[in-house]
Homo-oligomer: A and B are copies of this chain.
């Protein structure tokens, strides 16, 4: 019954199936698309034929006639860390629930993203892009001429509808928390001019100072490897600080790791906080105080909205912002409470 692997027999088509079931191709198609419109007995015969022939409809042929690929395109920079995975899982689950598949494109490290994006646009009904800022205007235009496009995370293009998580007010809240601990020489670690998200977090950081002088940000990439460098700057006294607000957890963890390694005590000598709430944040000692984002939900919402756009819903474009949550652990100076305190910065516009 099972064909020899590699020796696949000529694939079945609607015609093969129709012939075998003694019906027309239209009926076969109907059995698959609108079963109820076919008489019970006929349907059964067709189903049997389908099963016997291991018939699987040719997606491209269907797409061509149906005028829909039944697929979403999702463009992410890469997949390291829990952030993208969560996003992707959230996205896939709602796309799949609607019977759509998701075609994944990772942009980082690809030499010709433009070409890849165009090809993608020819295979899906809509594209959701994280990092649209890096896509040439010209390419974006071509994409939008063919399919609806949505952005993920903050971006400059005001005309591009997008989904993002809140940054400013949570950053402000977290900063005030450090100030409440009596810290006075806070330093923001990260490069506000490299990413909009980081910039917004820095803005919140500045806002919390209420006019008091603010140290300039300590530039750093959001990578583990930068942590050592940053920590050394502090250890050498080159940078004076009693609290470090790192732009993300990987950075924070790496910094903290080095500081502790060199004999400093966190948080008594210096507080360290991050952003993202990765798994590691729960396990390190002291637990890393950070900010959790509803990433999975972000993906789900984007997928839902894209589906609406695909099936032609109107509803005006909007910049959607999802609320984030400050997660207090011990690296900020708080005692090891039994249960973790959490605050939500509700700032959504929806």
B-contacting residues of A (Cβ < 8 Å)? 1-3, 5-6, 8-9, 11-12, 54, 56-64, 69, 71, 78-82, 84-86, 88-89, 92-93, 96, 99, 101-106, 109-110, 116, 118-123, 141-146, 148, 159, 161, 253, 257, 278-280, 283-285, 314, 317
Asked whether B103 lies within 8 Å of A102 as measured between CB atoms, the reply is yes
Asked whether A102 lies within 8 Å of B104 as measured between CB atoms, the reply is yes
Asked if A146 meets B56 with Cβ closer than 8 Å, knowing A79-B85, A89-B78, the reply is yes
Distance from A227 Cβ to chain B, minimum over Cβ atoms (Å): 11
Q: Which 6 A-B pairs have CB atoms at the shortest separation, nearest pair first?
A: A60-B63, A59-B123, A54-B145, A59-B122, A79-B85, A60-B60
Bound Cα distance from A59 to B79, whole angstroms: 26
Asked whether B103 lies within 8 Å of A253 as measured between CB atoms, the reply is no
Closest B residue to A253 using CB positions: B283
Other A-B pairs beyond A60-B69, A104-B104, 8, CB < 8 Å: A59-B63, A71-B103, A81-B85, A96-B110, A103-B104, A283-B283, A284-B284, A285-B285
Bound Cα distance from A161 to B317, whole angstroms: 47
Contacts of A71 in B (CB 8 A): 103, 123
Distance from A56 Cβ to chain B, minimum over Cβ atoms (Å): 5
Contacts of A141 in B (CB 8 A): 1-2, 54
Closest B residue to A260 using CB positions: B285
Asked whether A122 lies within 8 Å of B62 as measured between CB atoms, the reply is yes
**Copies assembled:** 2
Closest B residue to A317 using CB positions: B5
Bound Cα distance from A36 to B148, whole angstroms: 33
Asked whether A3 lies within 8 Å of B145 as measured between CB atoms, the reply is yes
Asked whether A144 lies within 8 Å of B5 as measured between CB atoms, the reply is yes
Distance from A281 Cβ to chain B, minimum over Cβ atoms (Å): 9
Among B64, B88, B93, B145, the residue within 8 A (CB) of A58 is B64
Contacts of A96 in B (CB 8 A): 105-106, 110, 116
Asked if A11 meets B145 with Cβ closer than 8 Å, knowing A60-B123, A122-B59, A283-B280, the reply is yes
Bound Cα distance from A122 to B78, whole angstroms: 27
Asked whether A146 lies within 8 Å of B78 as measured between CB atoms, the reply is no
Distance from A31 Cβ to chain B, minimum over Cβ atoms (Å): 14
Contacts of A80 in B (CB 8 A): 82, 85, 89
Contacts of A145 in B (CB 8 A): 2-3, 8-9, 11-12, 54, 56
Contacts of A280 in B (CB 8 A): 279-280, 283-284
Contacts of A101 in B (CB 8 A): 103-105, 119-120, 123
Distance from A203 Cβ to chain B, minimum over Cβ atoms (Å): 28
Bound Cα distance from A85 to B101, whole angstroms: 18
Among B63, B103, B122, B284, the residue within 8 A (CB) of A56 is B122
Bound Cα distance from A82 to B59, whole angstroms: 32
Contacts of A102 in B (CB 8 A): 103-104
Contacts of A78 in B (CB 8 A): 89
